[in-house]
Amino acid sequence: MSLETRLHSPVAEVVRPTTFVEALRLGRRLGVELTIASEAFQLTGSFKFRAAYHLASQVSARHIITASSGNFGQALAFACQLLGKSCLVVMPSTSAKIKVDAVREFGGEVELIDVTRVTRAARVRELAAAQRDAYVASPHDDPLVIEGNATLGTELARSGKAFDCIVAPVGVGV
């Protein structure tokens, strides 16, 4: 399957269209026309759903293991629920209760760990060794996650809006 095909299928059929907000005051202050593409209204409340759904829809494994502080874990749990798969999310015991609860409400299994004793990555490796048929997903370094996030670029390009420049924040909240 070509990269072009994977970047907009099947994610485009599931994600909510991006909300465009004209930032008039800030644009005037900066001397530009400024449009913000907000993913805050995306399923599970963040852009992470694009990546999680893309990943879960592309791997053949029925079980996925990942580490997350919350947003990717929620997104993966919901994606797995939609696709009839299961997931285990390793989370710090200090994670926000609302995020832990959301992962569970979407059908994901949560393992809370004391990150002062064991890292999330180390615990994921242990779980993967015990569950060899599971797919281990990095919330930021997996090529399928990167491809899923890139579907926003495809959506922007197809929006019909003429952008001179696109600025995107990059970060990881693992």
Q: Domain containing 72: what range?
A: 61-141
Mean pLDDT of 43-50: 90
* pLDDT level of residue 80 (50, 70, 90 thresholds): very high
Mean pLDDT of 93-103: 97
SS3 assignment, position 137: strand
Number of domains in the chain: 1
* pLDDT level of residue 174 (50, 70, 90 thresholds): very low
| Domain presence at residue 158 | no
| Domain presence at residue 104 | yes
Give the rounded percent of residues in the chain with a pLDDT score beyond 70.
91
Please report the pLDDT score of residue 8 as a whole number.
Answer: 46
Give the rounded percent of residues in the chain with a pLDDT score beyond 90.
65
| Domain presence at residue 135 | yes
Q: Give the CATH number for residue 75.
A: 3.40.50.1100
Would you state the torsion angle of the CA atoms of residues 108, 40, 121, 103, taken in this order, to the nearest 10 degrees? -20
| Domain presence at residue 32 | no
Least Cα distance to 65 among 26, 29, 110 occurs for: 110
pLDDT digits (tens, 9 = 90+) for 100-141: 999 999 999 999 999 999 999 999 999 999 999 999 999 999
Q: Which residues contact 52 (CB under 8 A, 6 or more apart)?
A: 44, 72, 75, 76, 78, 79, 145, 148
- Between these two residues, 162 and 136, which has the higher pLDDT value? 136
Q: Which of 28-37, 41-50, 92-101, 160-169 has the highest mean pLDDT?
A: 92-101
Helices 48-58 and 71-83: angle between axes, nearest 10 degrees: 40
Residue 28 has pLDDT above 50, yes or no: yes
| Domain presence at residue 20 | no
Average pLDDT score over the chain: 90
Please report the pLDDT score of residue 147 as a whole number.
Answer: 92
